[in-house]
Structure 1
């Protein structure tokens, strides 16, 4: 089984933001992070999950994703995102990322576990450090989906 730990951060909402991801498969551990000059916390939480899943090249392996984002976990576990998809994400923020998420999600056997943020969970704390450091990096690129305004209804 693969474990993916994720977190997103923004310095202001919107503001500079970043995500942090830890991938763990047995003894193997990989960290991923990136930042953007203007984005939102929810976009970074969701993008962390997407990037983690996109890093897995073998489909069908059981994956557990640990996230402190109720926005992401509830949207998937309560199946809201599938209703949003049927309506073309009309009136929903982050439709670009939700569509990207669903494309990669369909290739994997994914289970979500919500963890309380900033509560001492070691991997969640590390992902937060990665996300914040990425958000504070110089010369951040644009989050095109956010800055275009096209995918940020509501």
Structure 2
């Protein structure tokens, strides 16, 4: 067989499982986000926080940071306990874009900056969005929740060191 007649080998993309969560102490107030990524026996934990934010912004930031951390195109399953994020990215975003980032009643979409970033990042991958019930014992969700709270806690450590 010559090179030209060899069947092309299918390049298998990495399979990645991501659990994400956001936390906010006050709404608005200090908040954190967390993400646990797992692929091929390797795990990665990500977390961070903002001093003045909302729970929804942290729920959006978690999958943004998780997807941004992937170095190449992957097949991804994102588990999250936020229907706001899941429905927003799978249902509502289409009409928001059609209406120039306005809601059905003509108001600006809240957190449009984050929705636009999440939309751009998801297009780099094949992403399936799955909702899980929060605080119901799902190990991945519990880990993401712990990381989100670590993100909140990291803010006081930084503040205390000044």
The reply to whether TM is greater than 0.5 is: yes
For the pair shown, which has the larger CA radius of gyration, 1 or 2? 2
Unaligned ranges ≥5, structure 2: 1-14, 103-107
Tell me which residue corresponds to 2:23: 9
Kindly tell me the number of residue pairs found equivalent between the two proteins.
138
State how far apart, in whole Å, the 2-side matches of 1:133 and 1:18 are: 7
State how far apart, in whole Å, the 1-side matches of 2:50 and 2:81 are: 20
Tell me which residue corresponds to 1:84: 96
Unaligned ranges ≥5, structure 1: 141-154
Tell me which residue corresponds to 1:53: 67
Please identify, of 19-28 and 81-90, the stretch whose mean Cα deviation from structure 2 is larger.
81-90
What stretches of structure 1 move > 4 A for 4+ residues in a row? none
Tell me which residue corresponds to 1:128: 145
8 A Cα contact 1:85 1:99, kept in partner: no
State how far apart, in whole Å, the 2-side matches of 1:62 and 1:96 are: 24
1:103-147, Cα deviation, whole Å (9 max, x unpaired): 11111100011000000011111111111121122236xxxxxxx
1:96 aligns with 2:134: no
1:48-68, Cα deviation, whole Å (9 max, x unpaired): 011111111211x21000000
CA RMSD of aligned residues (A): 1.2
1:53-100, Cα deviation, whole Å (9 max, x unpaired): 1111211x21000000000111123x2112112323232110000011
